[in-house]
Amino acid sequence: MTDTTEAWTARILTLFPEMFPGPLGQSLAGKALEKGIWRLETLQIRDFACDRHRTVDDTPFGGGAGMVMRPDVVDAALAAATADGLGPAIYLTPRGRLLSQGLVEELAAGPGMVLVCGRYEGLDERVIEARQLIEVSLGDFVLSGGEPAALALIDACVRLLPGVMGAEETLDEESFKTGLLEYPHYTRPAEWNERKVPEVLMSGHHEKIRAWRQTQAEEVTRSRRPDLWDAYKKRGA
Applying CB under 6 A, which residues contact ligand SAM?
92-95, 117-119, 121-122, 137-139, 141-146, 149
Specify whether the CB–CB gap between 128 and 91 falls below 8 A.
Answer: yes
Shortest distance, position 42 Cβ to ligand SAM, whole Å? 15
Shortest distance, position 130 Cβ to ligand SAM, whole Å? 17
Shortest distance, position 124 Cβ to ligand SAM, whole Å? 11
Specify whether the CB–CB gap between 177 and 171 falls below 8 A.
Answer: yes
21 or 94, CB closer to ligand SAM? 94
7 or 146, CB closer to ligand SAM? 146
40 or 138, CB closer to ligand SAM? 138
- Residue with the closest Cβ to ligand SAM? 118
Q: Where are the beta strands (DSSP E) in 140-190?
A: none
Shortest distance, position 4 Cβ to ligand SAM, whole Å? 23
- Residues β-bridged to residue 97: 136
123 or 158, CB closer to ligand SAM? 123
In this structure, is the dihedral angle defined by the CA atoms of residues 109, 134, 150 and 16, taken in order, positive or negative?
positive
Shortest distance, position 196 Cβ to ligand SAM, whole Å? 40
CA atoms within a 13 Å half-sphere pointing along the CA-CB vector of 197: 13
Q: Which amino acid is at 133?
A: L
19 or 143, CB closer to ligand SAM? 143
Specify whether the CB–CB gap between 114 and 90 falls below 8 A.
Answer: yes
CA distance 81 to 73: 12
